[in-house]
Structure 1
Amino acid sequence: MNLALWIAAGLLAGVALLGGITKTFVPKDKLAAAHSGGEWLRHAGAGFVKTLGILELLAAVGLTLPGVLGIATFMVPVTAVCWIVLMIGAMITHGRLGQYSLALLNFAYLATAAFVAWGRFSLEPFTG
């Protein structure tokens, strides 16, 4: 179970890192033009997009680094819960725009984060 939780957290961290880098460092207009589901970007301010990017970068760190270092390991499941909240917002946004395949992808990320949160809170928490 520990290995499955590490894999799930690592996959989510990779998704968060990629999304965070692009939203933080790529200009909003360029990101909207290059992204197939970028319609939501036309309705969002540049500051909001950068804030989402920074949150995703923090999620990538929070899903992995505490477990790797064995410091503040409670942050791994807490970060997974925060990712769930973020994915609910993403699902609502994509659903309102009729981008149901992207909403479904966000649901898959949400389910993976729920697995990590459940696993690290109760099934196999980190032991210090």
Structure 2
Amino acid sequence: MNTFVWVLQVLLALVFLLTGVLKLVQPREKLREQMRWVDGFSQEAIRGIGAAEVAGALGLVLPGWLDVLTWLTPLAAAGLVLVMIGAIATHLRLKEWPMVAGNAVLAVLALVVAWARFGSYPL
């Protein structure tokens, strides 16, 4: 089970690192081409979301790999669940059903990591 949770952590970290960096480095106008939801947010808010995703991605893997502050991993996973709840709400408002489904899957996977690392399978 520990290996399964590690695989989830690495996969989630890759997804959130890539999407977070994209939101951090691309201007809102460029992101608008792929992400309709950015029209409802300022550039600063979009960068804040990106920073939260990058921080969450790093928090999923670095504490375990470095064996330092391992209690941060379940908190990072829980934080990413909250980010995905916000994403789900935004995409529901825009009626972007495929995005809602994708965000729900990411939220459930992050919830599994949080549950496992808070509970029976700590790092």
- The TM tier, using the shorter chain, reads over 0.9
Aligned partner letter, 1:29: E
1:41 maps to 38
Counting only pairs closer than 5 Å after superposition, residues 92-111 of structure 1 correspond to structure 2 as: 92-111=89-108
Among 45, 60, 63, the residue aligned to 1:63: 60
**Aligned mates of 1:20, 1:114 — CA distance in 2:** 19
Corresponding position: 1:29 with 2:26: no
How many aligned positions are there?
123
1:123 maps to 120
Corresponding position: 1:9 with 2:40: no
Tell me the TM-score normalized by structure 2. Answer: 0.97
Deviations 1:19-45 (A, max 9, x none): 111000011101111x1xx11101110
Tell me the TM-score normalized by structure 1. Answer: 0.94
Gaps of 5+ in 2: none
Gaps of 5+ in 1: none
**Aligned mates of 1:85, 1:57 — CA distance in 2:** 14
Q: Which runs of at least 4 in structure 1 moved beyond 2 Å after TM superposition?
A: none
Percent identity over the alignment is 35
Aligned partner letter, 1:65: L
